[in-house]
């Protein structure tokens, strides 16, 4: 299948590579030459703009960091909407349902179908092809691209309404954000009382407290203090903000997520937007007066 791929960052680059390895023909674009070069070396063709990508292929995928960037790439000057060949725009980013609906309406005026396909599973999942891909869009169009999306991992068809895939992604990510924030306070509690943090995490993973933070992030990045999961604090905070906005729009209770949101806002303010999101432990450590490692310090 001829596919355009826009956005070759931490997530986009391994996903694009997997498409090439699966036998798909790619036209790629990114604002950074160092991002496109490895894909071109694997056989991808280089485009000069999002519009140039959409001039060459019928199916364009995008993996981008922020909703306003997705809007610009999809419908702005020099964007996908102005392409001569494009028939469908697959958004692998996390934008929220409001932006997805707006982009879908703009593209529809040019007879271009938007398919939401946000992904979850981190850089490791993108590398291994084990992501969860949450797809919404017209069933006939989804059927045409489902095999290509399956290169990234397990495809879940959420529905046909624009934005449904985005809402599912936000529901997933805000729960992940909650696990991260809550586990930090729980492990600091254990450490401050004199329990070895590694033992505490092992017990949690053998008991009812087990979650994606304790089973993955703590052993790999937080206990060894490498803080290199590959997902920035700014991106997680953005997802939490988007989820809270949708909760309010839909009149859904959000008392717990308000507290989670404050934890992430504190992290981004104190540690910085570009730091890895596993650094959320550091403001909790500061307030608790203890540094959490494999042993109490």
CA dist 151 and 165 (Å) reads: 18
CA dist 14 and 12 (Å) reads: 6
Looking at 109, 169, 198, 248, which residue is catalytic? 169
* Residue 161 annotated among the catalytic residues of the structure: no
The phi, psi pair for 183, rounded to 5°, reads -65, -30
The phi, psi pair for 138, rounded to 5°, reads -55, 130
CA dist 267 and 262 (Å) reads: 9
Q: What is the DSSP letter of 213?
A: I
**Largest separation between any pair of C-alpha atoms in the chain:** 65
**116 strand-pairing partners:** 91, 136
CA dist 211 and 218 (Å) reads: 10
Residues in Cβ contact with 152 at an 8 Å cutoff, skipping those fewer than 6 apart: 15, 18, 92, 119, 126, 129, 131, 133
Q: Are 136 and 162 a contacting pair, CB within 8 Å?
A: yes
Q: What is the DSSP letter of 66?
A: S
Q: Are 129 and 140 a contacting pair, CB within 8 Å?
A: no
The pair of three-digit structure tokens given for residue 274, joined into one six-digit string: 């570009």
Residues involved in catalysis: 169
């Amino acid at each position: 299948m001829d596919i355009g791929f826009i956005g070759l960052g931490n997530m986009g680059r391994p996903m694009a590579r997997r498409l090439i390895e699966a036998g798909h023909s790619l036209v790629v674009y990114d604002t950074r030459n160092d991002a496109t070069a490895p894909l071109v070396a694997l056989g991808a063709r280089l485009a000069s703009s999002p519009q140039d990508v959409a001039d060459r292929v019928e199916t364009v995928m995008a993996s981008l960091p922020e909703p306003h960037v997705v809007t610009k790439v999809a419908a702005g000057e020099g964007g996908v909407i102005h392409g001569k060949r494009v028939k469908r725009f697959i958004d692998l980013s996390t934008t929220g349902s409001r932006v997805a609906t707006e982009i879908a309406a703009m593209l529809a005026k040019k007879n271009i179908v938007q398919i939401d396909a946000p992904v979850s599973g981190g850089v490791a999942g993108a590398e291994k092809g084990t992501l969860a891909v949450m797809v919404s869009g017209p069933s006939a169009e989804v059927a045409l691209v489902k095999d290509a999306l399956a290169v990234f991992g397990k495809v879940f068809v959420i529905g046909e309404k624009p934005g449904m895939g985005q809402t599912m992604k936000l529901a997933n990510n805000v729960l992940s954000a909650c696990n991260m924030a809550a586990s930090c306070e729980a492990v600091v509690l254990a450490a401050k009382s004199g329990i070895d943090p590694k033992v505490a995490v092992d017990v949690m993973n053998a008991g009812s407290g087990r979650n994606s933070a304790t089973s993955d992030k703590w052993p790999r990045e937080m206990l060894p203090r490498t803080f290199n999961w590959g997902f920035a604090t700014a991106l997680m905070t953005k997802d939490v903000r988007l989820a809270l906005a949708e909760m309010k729009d839909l009149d859904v209770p959000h008392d717990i997520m308000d507290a989670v949101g404050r934890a992430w806002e504190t992290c981004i303010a104190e540690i910085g937007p570009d730091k890895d999101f596993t650094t959320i432990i550091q403001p909790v450590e500061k307030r608790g007066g203890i540094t959490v490692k494999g042993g109490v310090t």
